[in-house]
């Protein structure tokens, strides 16, 4: 099973592309499994408190809707977890990147129900947690190539959590700061 030493250590800068530092730096402390488990209910609560019509809100023309942002978080978590799985299993095949705008454009998020998307987010996070909780020390430390850059399994766990926090902050500040929630 997992080594608490490896799981409780933050990834070194050599374990991920510089671009991902903006996500990893958002994560407080060193207990990524606890963070992954504890943070998603806040995001789910933020979105569950919204009326269905608010799911279609865009803070500016051309920006994703609330539902599209959540769909992006869900799809990205799936992609990052898939990368972690492949690398943890010592699959040395380079993993291609993905075009996030196409995933949103061709995803069904805008036609979906906000409540259903929140439930899907919960399910995806539970699957992500199951994956990471089952890894041993060697798996956590393995590195592979994803999107032409070296990345460790440990860094991918931090990226998943930081990516969620990044988009939660955007939702709070750009989408919901001006919207009154009627009680």
pLDDT at 177: 87
- Map out the domains of the chain as residue ranges: 4-175
Nearest to 94 by CA among 159, 157, 145: 145
Q: What is the pTM of this model?
A: 0.93
Calpha distance 170→174 (Å, rounded): 5
Band of pLDDT at residue 180, cut at 50, 70 and 90: low
| Chain center to CA of 84 | 12
107-159 pLDDT, tens per residue?
A: 999 999 999 999 999 999 999 999 999 999 999 999 999 999 999 999 999 99
Shortest CA distance to 161 belongs to which of 90, 66, 81, 55? 81
What CATH number belongs to 4-175? Answer: 1.20.120.450
């Amino acid at each position: 099973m997992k080594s608490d030493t490896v799981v409780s250590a933050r990834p070194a800068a050599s374990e991920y592309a510089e671009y991902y530092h903006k996500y990893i730096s958002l994560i407080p402390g060193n207990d990524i499994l606890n963070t992954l488990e504890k943070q998603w209910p806040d995001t789910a609560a933020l979105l569950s408190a919204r009326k269905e019509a608010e799911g279609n809100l865009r803070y500016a023309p051309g920006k994703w809707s609330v539902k599209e942002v959540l769909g992006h978080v869900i799809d990205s978590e799936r992609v990052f977890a898939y990368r972690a799985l492949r690398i943890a299993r010592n699959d040395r095949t380079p993993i291609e990147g993905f075009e996030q705008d196409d995933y949103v454009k061709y995803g069904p998020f805008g036609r979906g129900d906000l409540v259903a998307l929140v439930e899907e987010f919960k399910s995806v996070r539970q699957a992500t947690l199951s994956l990471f909780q089952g890894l041993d020390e060697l798996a956590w430390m393995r590195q592979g190539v994803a999107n032409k850059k070296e990345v460790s399994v440990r860094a991918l766990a931090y990226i998943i959590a930081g990516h969620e926090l990044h988009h939660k902050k955007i939702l709070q500040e750009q989408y919901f700061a001006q919207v009154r929630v009627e009680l």
